[in-house]
Amino acid sequence: MEFVNVAAAGVAVFVFGAVWYTVLAEKWMAASGVPLDETGAPANRSDPVPYITSFLSAILVAGMMRHVFELSGIDTMGKGLMSGFGIGIFLVSPWIATFYGFGARPKSLLLIDAGYATFGCTLIGLVLTAF
């Protein structure tokens, strides 16, 4: 049954990412410097590799969070929500900030990507403890 929880959390955060980056697409494209095609869309938008990588990464993160939650006794939605938020804002986002700081990336890109990591981990925590 835990595999179902992990899969559901992975799918949920993947869908959340699609919505997050659709809403913030123009700001993200400007801040990231991603190459654009003649229509103004990312040049690699038809390449399946980033989407597959994103989905598999979501499953891996959800799986590890489930493992940590199990070891830590995180078994309610409130604990899952707060623990997921903590993982996103205090573990994942500082790494992103470090990479972007040394890479001289724009602060707006940090906010977009760290926001996704924070709210995505929060969603994973919620879904993992909802079942």
Tens digits of residue pLDDT in 68-91: 999 999 999 999 999 999 999 999
Transcribe 6-29 into DSSP letters: HHHHHHHHHHHHHHHHHHTHHHHH
Domain locations along the chain: 2-130
pTM of the model: 0.94
Please, which residues have CB within 8 angstroms of residue 82's CB and are 6 or more apart in sequence? 125
Question: What is the model's pLDDT at position 1?
Answer: 63
Which residues of the chain fall below pLDDT 70? 1
Question: What is the model's pLDDT at position 80?
Answer: 98
Transcribe 44-97 into DSSP letters: TTT-HHHHHHHHHHHHHHHHHHHHHHHHHT--SHHHHHHHHHHIIIIIIHHHHH
